[in-house]
Structure 1
Amino acid sequence: MTERESNTNTAKFNNFSRWFLIFLVVAALAATLYVFKPFLVDIAIAAVLVTIFYNYYLKLTKFLHGHRRTASFLMCLILLVIIILPTINLVIYTANKSVLAYNEAVVYFENNSFSQALNHPVAERFNLGYLFSDIKDNNLINNTMLDFLKGFSNTLIAAAKSLVVGTTGFIVSLVVIIFTMYFFFIDGKKLLNYLTYLLPLKEKYTEEIFKKFHEISSTTIISTFVAALAQGAVGAIGFGIVGFPAFLAGIVIAFLSLMPVLGSALFYAPVGFYYLMMGQVWQGIFVLLWGFLIIGTVDNIVRALMIKDKAQINPIFVILSILGGIAVFGFWGVVLGPLVVSLLVTILHIYSLEFSNELKAENKNQDFPPQESMRLDNPILSDLLENILKTSKPERWGWLAKKSEEKDSVKSKKDPNGN
């Protein structure tokens, strides 16, 4: 065997060894994930909470003169008392209250039938009773509203029952979350450094992944639910003023506010028009104005104050990630669903950084996606507009065509040779 053949065989063996080692790593990782499968959701929740509150842990550690274990224990205790237990109590309390609110709503709709509104002189003048005879006879609107409220109430009750029935499993999950948070607070930094060392990525990209993950998880998730709670509170106040069951309205609006585009309008708009049809004009106008001006504005204000310049996820992906997360992960899917989408957004951001040169548009020194591409003073749009104007009749384009001609005239005066 020649030296060249020996070197070739050695290279093949080294290549085989490398791929075999990678296979072993993947197999061991898959086996470990399978073993941890019952607790993956709990570990993920602990990681999210530690990510959000890690800076407070550092401040507490500094206050305690570097006693990291004591600081970690206190942080876990604080999160347990302030966040986890109140969330559980809120679900149970909401379920109980929703039953009472549903009973109030039943009495309300029984005493205020839609068919009565169709007997109003104004409705009879336009013959609305004939047009909506089926609705009038069957009380379709009243029954639909009651069915919707009953289904919503049953959903909350089912969520509360799942917490009570699965008490043993829930306690185990809670213990896992607390202990995982405890060790993540203490050794989380070392774990991240080790993962950074192992990941086959440039250091700046690894740091970008953790940075974006922290920004998106802390800002998007918190702002989404704070905005929902704010809209629910404001909605409860407004509906309480007109005599509608305030607590039930607040809960429904808080949940619907997570939906893109329409959101809480799916509730306050039908109720407002219902009041108008019932002849309760000021209540109907008040509900519509309160919903459009107050409830809708609160969402934008809260998000603007909390997110500011941080990374955001499109609202449609937020609601889809929440619904999908609940279907896959259960109760904690409300948090984990958006985090999965956040991870995708982060990876796409890293991808755009690594392949920025390839993603640049041809003959355009501009990264994708262009941040200023839709501004009217963008040079690309300006040149395109000028070319269109030059090949069109000026009188059709008004002042824009004149402005383009004046610009060309100024250029020719400054540089007669066209250089």
Structure 2
Amino acid sequence: MLNNDRLLVQILLLVLLGACLWVLAPFASALFWAAVLAFASWPLMRLLTRQLNGNASLAAGLLTFCWMVLVAVPLVWLGFNIADQIREANALLHNLQVDGLPAPPTWLGELPLIGDNLVTLWSTVHEQGTALLASARPYIGQVGNWLLVRSARIGGGMLELALSLVLVFFFYRDGPRLAAFVHSLLDRLIGRERADHYLELVAGTVQRVVNGVIGTAAAQAVLAYVGFSIAGVPAALVLGLLTFAFSFLMVPPLVWGPAVAWLVWQGDYGMAVFLGIWGMFIISGVDNILKPYLISRGGNLPLVVVLLGVFGGVLAFGFMGLFLGPTLLAVAFSLLGDWLIKEVPQTTEKDSTGEPIDKPQC
């Protein structure tokens, strides 16, 4: 009877846990990002708390306000600039419809094998621009609908980001209690020493991934801004911020690639070649050098485990997998290592009679 009561209590606890997870499921993404942001900036929280004589609530409020300003103001400013760029793109399409294309560049006709065909196609588009735009209008509408759906998703992402910035205050304020709760739970499940080991493992892995991803994105944004400024591309600062955002998705060429095409369109071929080389080997190339260095620095895990976790996590879980993937692989790698390690028993030397020989202590 006692065993049955115990089983019933365990089932009820599992049901209660499942119900709690069901309630929190809609906020999983916001909770995850708030936790990552609080964890990555926890040294700032400790420093600010010491400066405020241990007032954790005030320190959490000030740091949360700083994050809101740092994140919200650039996003609003970026939104207005993107709206201006969209208006300029619409004006460009209108001018193309009225005036047609400019004269084809001389190098286009000099291309071997396909140069004459490209010049003929250019002239055809110039002469029949209105008809071509009219025939392409249904496809443009489909592209507009696709962009509208993506814009709705981006809007939902902005709402999640806003909720994360609110939740991060509670992670700052109650962080020590949450950490103590998790440590006590793992202590009950796997023991104190193993709990300390795996908490340190998870913390170190997440910290290195955060440093690697954000550090690489910042470096690519600065290098992109320098390249755009040298090449004379307009809105270089906006494109630099877009490079920072696209670096998280590991596709910075989606920013500097159209800039190269714009320079070709303007006939500035020298700067187009420069920006193409700068983007390929400097902006995109730094991702192959800086990110592995920052991720692997100070860790005992093989670099390939962390990198596979980063890329595989993104494919499996989306953007959250950027942190979940390497953390899961790191914990699994450590668990397998602990399981495979076996203590080798110490052997003692024996004499001819089978008695152990005592070695003198040095």
Q: TM-score range by the shorter chain?
A: 0.5 to 0.7
**Aligned partners of 1:271, 1:132: CA distance in 2, in Å?**
23
Query: What does residue 75 of structure 2 align with?
Result: 91
1:42-81 matches, within 5 Å, as 42-61=30-49, 67=54, 70=55, 72-81=56-65
Alignment of 1:194 onto 2:181: no
Q: For residue 243 of structure 1, what is the amino acid of its counterpart?
A: G
Query: What does residue 32 of structure 1 align with?
Result: 20
Determine which of 177, 194, 212 is the counterpart of 1:223: 212
**1:257 counterpart SS class:** helix
Determine which of 267, 270, 284 is the counterpart of 2:272: 284
**Number of residue pairs matched by the alignment:** 322
Q: Give the deviation of 1:208 after TM superposition.
A: 3.0
Query: What does residue 243 of structure 1 align with?
Result: 232
Q: Is the 8 A contact 1:321 1:338 kept in 2?
A: yes
Alignment of 1:353 onto 2:334: no
**1:344 counterpart SS class:** helix
Q: Is the 8 A contact 1:224 1:258 kept in 2?
A: yes
Alignment of 1:213 onto 2:202: yes
Evaluate the alpha carbon distance shift between residue 276 and residue 317 of structure 1 in structure 2; reply closer, same or farther with a 3 A threshold: farther
Q: Give the deviation of 1:42 after TM superposition.
A: 4.2
1:134-160 residue CA offsets vs partner (Å, 9 max, x unmatched): 4664489x99xx99x989987896577
Q: Give the deviation of 1:131 after TM superposition.
A: 4.6
Alignment of 1:181 onto 2:169: no
Q: For residue 230 of structure 1, what is the amino acid of its counterpart?
A: A
Q: Give the deviation of 1:228 after TM superposition.
A: 1.9
Evaluate the alpha carbon distance shift between residue 117 and residue 297 of structure 1 in structure 2; reply closer, same or farther with a 3 A threshold: farther
Query: What does residue 106 of structure 2 align with?
Result: 120
**Aligned partners of 2:123, 2:70: CA distance in 1, in Å?**
45
Evaluate the alpha carbon distance shift between residue 125 and residue 74 of structure 1 in structure 2; reply closer, same or farther with a 3 A threshold: closer
Alignment of 1:258 onto 2:244: no
**Aligned partners of 2:223, 2:317: CA distance in 1, in Å?**
27
Evaluate the alpha carbon distance shift between residue 303 and residue 174 of structure 1 in structure 2; reply closer, same or farther with a 3 A threshold: closer
Q: Give the deviation of 1:170 after TM superposition.
A: 8.1
Determine which of 2, 10, 14 is the counterpart of 1:22: 10
Q: Is the 8 A contact 1:98 1:153 kept in 2?
A: no
Q: Give the deviation of 1:353 after TM superposition.
A: 1.9
**Aligned partners of 2:101, 2:312: CA distance in 1, in Å?**
38
Q: Give the deviation of 1:22 after TM superposition.
A: 3.4
Alignment of 1:294 onto 2:282: yes
Q: Give the deviation of 1:105 after TM superposition.
A: 5.3
- In structure 1, runs of 5+ residues without a counterpart are 1-12, 327-333, 359-419
Q: Is the 8 A contact 1:259 1:315 kept in 2?
A: no
Q: Is the 8 A contact 1:118 1:128 kept in 2?
A: no
Q: Give the deviation of 1:287 after TM superposition.
A: 0.8
Evaluate the alpha carbon distance shift between residue 348 and residue 135 of structure 1 in structure 2; reply closer, same or farther with a 3 A threshold: farther
Q: For residue 288 of structure 1, what is the amino acid of its counterpart?
A: G
1:347-386 matches, within 5 Å, as 347-356=331-340
Q: Is the 8 A contact 2:212 2:294 kept in 1?
A: yes
Q: Give the deviation of 1:30 after TM superposition.
A: 1.3
- In structure 2, runs of 5+ residues without a counterpart are 343-362
Q: For residue 67 of structure 2, what is the amino acid of its counterpart?
A: I
1:63-116 residue CA offsets vs partner (Å, 9 max, x unmatched): 566x3xx1x2133123212223421232222111112234445667868x9965
Q: Is the 8 A contact 1:231 1:298 kept in 2?
A: yes
**Aligned partners of 1:47, 1:300: CA distance in 2, in Å?**
27
Q: Give the deviation of 1:176 after TM superposition.
A: 4.2
Q: Give the deviation of 1:225 after TM superposition.
A: 2.9
Q: Is the 8 A contact 1:318 1:338 kept in 2?
A: yes
Query: What does residue 325 of structure 2 align with?
Result: 341
**Aligned partners of 2:255, 2:76: CA distance in 1, in Å?**
23
Q: For residue 90 of structure 1, what is the amino acid of its counterpart?
A: P
Evaluate the alpha carbon distance shift between residue 209 and residue 40 of structure 1 in structure 2; reply closer, same or farther with a 3 A threshold: same
